């Protein structure tokens, strides 16, 4: 625990996100805003009208803006806008369709709300256009490995969250195997950070996500949570996304809409173990849980 506290104290106090910076002196909440018809938890919730299937799905910018506004009121420091589902087995989305979904929403949020906007994408064109629309952070499950992604982010002042994933969303949960889970995740992330720095992306713009649920079994996920402090040796802030995931549902035996208690427990544990950004669906409840955690921390 002493070693973990020392590692946290050595982290940069802020994450640079374009024209804004995120204060990381305490854990911050990232609210999930999926503008998709098929995301695992809330797909279709922000559609423009009933009856829109995945092929004809269109986004209601007004609904998305109202949802973002509520999350800001509830204490979200970042709004993470995603236009392509990355749930296990998800199909790829054409680039233009992803642009059509996320760019109007990002523009509306940055025009009306005082908050950092993140774009959840692996597509270089979406990264570039999102930056022009006002996004301050790229949240990429593929850690900028697509052709042109490194260059797209390097050409902006946006921050980036690099995530570990074994495989691709369509196949990542087909019997993932590791010889040394933590060592392999850490080595991958450190390598990607080095690639970012060579491309001109400063460390002050980078945070890391170990990728709970992305190419990992139930046992892998809980081992990763238990040993997450080891990832602090990379010297960069950690983001943890556990909200409503099957690693919680499989333990508490609850369906998606009944996983709040488990998600809050996971959020507090992640914060205790070193995460500085907690990515969630339930912003108000998570902010409250983290306030209690912070009150306890302030006694040490």
What domain count does the chain have? 1
Q: How confident is the model at residue 89 (pLDDT cuts 50, 70, 90)?
A: low
The mean of the pLDDT values for the chain is 91
Give residue 90's pLDDT.
65
Of the chain, the percentage scoring pLDDT greater than 70 comes to 90
User: CA gyration radius for the chain?
Assistant: 18
Q: How confident is the model at residue 51 (pLDDT cuts 50, 70, 90)?
A: very low
Residue 50 predicted with pLDDT over 80: no
Residue 12 predicted with pLDDT over 90: no
Q: How confident is the model at residue 46 (pLDDT cuts 50, 70, 90)?
A: low
**Which residue intervals of 170-282 are DSSP H helices?**
181-199, 218-227, 246-252, 260-272
The 10s digit of each residue's pLDDT in 91-146 is 778 899 999 999 999 999 999 999 999 999 999 999 999 999 999 999 999 999 99
CATH number at residue 118: 3.20.20.20
Mean per-residue pLDDT, 42-50: 53
The 10s digit of each residue's pLDDT in 61-81 is 999 999 999 999 999 999 999
Residue 86 predicted with pLDDT over 80: no
- Residue 99's contacts (CB-CB under 8 Å, 6 or more residues apart) are 83, 125, 126, 129
CA dihedral over 99, 97, 244, 232, signed as positive or negative: negative
Q: Is 216 a catalytic residue?
A: no
Give residue 49's pLDDT.
52
Torsion of CA 252, 254, 256, 258, to 10 degrees: -90
> Which residues are bridge partners to 240 per DSSP?
278
- Higher-confidence residue: 253 or 12? 253
Give residue 30's pLDDT.
98
User: How far, in Å, CA of 215 to CA of 59, rounded?
Assistant: 29
Domain that holds residue 86: 2-297
| Active-site position among 128, 142, 192, 245 | 245
Q: Is 244 a catalytic residue?
A: no
The tokens describing 21, both together, are 């910076």
Q: What is the 3-state secondary structure (H, E, C) of 14-55?
A: EEEECCEEEECCCCEEEEEEECCCCCCCCCCCCECCCCCCCC
Give residue 59's pLDDT.
74
User: How far, in Å, CA of 98 to CA of 36, rounded?
Assistant: 9
Give residue 47's pLDDT.
56
Inter-residue contact 56 to 64 (CB < 8 Å): no
Residue 52 predicted with pLDDT over 70: no
The 10s digit of each residue's pLDDT in 158-213 is 999 999 999 777 776 788 899 999 999 999 999 999 999 999 999 999 999 999 99
pTM: 0.91
Give residue 197's pLDDT.
98
């Amino acid at each position: 625990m002493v070693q973990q506290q020392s590692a946290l104290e050595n982290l940069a106090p802020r994450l640079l996100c374009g024209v804004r910076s995120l204060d990381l002196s305490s854990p911050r909440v990232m609210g999930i805003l999926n503008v998709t018809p098929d995301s695992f938890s809330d797909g279709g919730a922000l559609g423009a009208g009933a009856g829109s299937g995945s092929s004809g799905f269109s986004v209601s910018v007004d609904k998305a803006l109202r949802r973002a506004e509520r999350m800001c009121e509830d204490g979200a420091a970042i709004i993470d806008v995603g236009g392509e589902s990355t749930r296990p087995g998800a199909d790829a989305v054409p680039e233009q369709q992803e642009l059509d979904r996320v760019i109007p929403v990002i523009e509306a949020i940055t025009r009306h709300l005082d908050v950092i906007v993140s774009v959840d994408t692996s597509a270089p064109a979406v990264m570039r256009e999102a930056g022009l629309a006002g996004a301050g952070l790229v949240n990429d499950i593929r850690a900028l490995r697509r052709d042109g992604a490194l260059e797209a982010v390097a050409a902006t002042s946006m921050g980036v969250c690099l995530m570990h994933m074994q495989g691709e969303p369509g196949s990542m949960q087909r019997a993932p195997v590791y010889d040394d889970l933590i060592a392999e995740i850490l080595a991958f992330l450190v390598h990607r950070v080095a690639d970012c720095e060579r491309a001109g992306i400063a460390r002050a713009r980078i945070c890391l996500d170990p990728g709970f649920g992305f190419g990992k079994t139930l046992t892998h996920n809980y081992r990763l949570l238990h040993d997450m402090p080891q990832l602090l040796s990379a010297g960069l802030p950690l983001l943890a996304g556990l909200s409503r995931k099957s690693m919680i549902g499989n333990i508490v035996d609850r369906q998606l809409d009944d996983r709040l208690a488990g998600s809050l427990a996971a959020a507090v544990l992640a914060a205790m173990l070193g995460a500085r950004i907690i990515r969630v669906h339930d912003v108000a409840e998570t902010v409250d849980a983290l306030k209690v955690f912070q009150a306890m921390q302030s006694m040490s």
